Amino acid sequence: MRRRLPLLGLVAAAAVVLGGGLIGGSRVFSTVVRRVEAWRQRPRVLAGADSFETVTVTEQAMVPQTGQFDSEPGDDLALVSFNSIRLLLPTTLAERQRVELGGDVRGRWTETSRLARIGGALVVVDPGGGFDDPRVHDLDGTVRWRYRPDADVPPMSLVPADLDGDGDPEFYATISSYAVRLDAAGVEVWRAPLTAGRIVATAPRTRRDPAWIVAQGQGEMVVWDEGGVRLGAVTMKDARPLAVIDWPDGRYVLAGGAALRAVALDGRVVFDWGVPDMTVRQALPLSLEAGAPPAVALVAAGPRDVNGWRLQIVSRDKTLIYDEILGAPTELLKARAADGVDRLFLRRAGLLALRPRTG
């Protein structure tokens, strides 16, 4: 037994050294893997680097929104944090105003909450999301009104939008069997039949077209005007409506899926654009020049969102204006400035502005 002790000691010492080496090697290997993965997922601009630049708006965690939140012409960029809202000018990113949140607004604010202006006052719209009563309340938490016509099932969606151009938003909701329009006080204006759907996009009235309220139902897309008249329905089993775009030859719905498509109310596909091996998850019209036909900005994702993301801007004639391989999921927002040009923002961990280079 005494002769075995030195041997056992040597084995134990070797195990400690070997174990330490393995642990150290594992750490080095993990570090290398992380660096390789970060390098692989780095943003890479494939087209448009000479025409566009990215500018950091903020690196802080917040919820960005765009819309007409004050009395000045054009949209604002709102950065909502736990206790305040910062309103920025989208062209210069200068701060216009800062307002505080009070009451239970802080605790109730979610990613689906929306800002709106009613009678010149900034309010918060809580859509409920099918789990709670949708409500509209002031920034201090005072509830203006709630909406729940069915005691058993709360509404699935509540979207504010000024589609008739009177300066105050209407509210478009979906309940169990209907799409509903409410006025600024939460009073129902009309109902239209809809089975298990939700409002996904709106577009205001123009000289050529009535307003559009777009809902995604069971296997189909349904569109009404601001008076509740059903304008059309299109079967969409392999795609979903994302936004509305106005081109010189008509108004269309942008639908995502295996490809991006612009679809007319009679079902015609007037535009299609594919991103190889990716699914188009988001799309919105983007006016790069005042008075010119808008391009389309889109984000596509690989299978199960693990094979990367892609940001592209493409024109109606299918010219690829901008193309970037993204390192992380990205949400697109736009703000229509007073000059009639849209400013594009990219929400990742923080917020970036993607804008044309000057000079």
The pLDDT of residue 26: 58
- Rounded Cα gap, residues 204 and 165, in angstroms: 8
User: How high is the pLDDT of residue 213?
Assistant: 97
Domain spans of the chain, in order of start: 45-62+242-359
| pLDDT for position 256 | 96
Range in 23-37, 224-238, 295-309, 332-346 with the lowest mean pLDDT = 23-37
Instruction: Kindly report the backbone phi and psi dihedral angles of residue 225, in degrees, each rounded to the nearest multiple of 5, phi listed first.
Output: -95, 180
Q: What is the pLDDT of residue 25?
A: 55
In which region does residue 71 sit, left (phi positive, over 0), alpha (psi from -120 to 50) or beta (all else)?
alpha
pLDDT in tens, 271-293: 999 999 999 999 999 999 998 99
pLDDT score recorded for residue 29: 55
DSSP 17-66: HHHHHHHHHHHHHHHHHHHHHHHHTS-EEEE-TTTEEEEEEE-S--EEEE
The overall average pLDDT reported for the chain is 87
Task: Tell me the two tokens of residue 358.
Answer: 């000057």
The pLDDT, as a whole number, for residue 112 is 86
Res 80 pLDDT > 80:
yes
Q: Which two tokens stand for residue 18?
A: 């070997």
Whether 110 has a pLDDT exceeding 90, the answer reads: no
In the sheet with 239-247, reading across from the earlier edge strand, the strands are 239-247, 250-257, 260-263, 269-273
Q: Which residues of 72-88 are buried (b: 16+ CB within 10 A; e: fewer)?
A: eebbbbbbbeeeebbbb
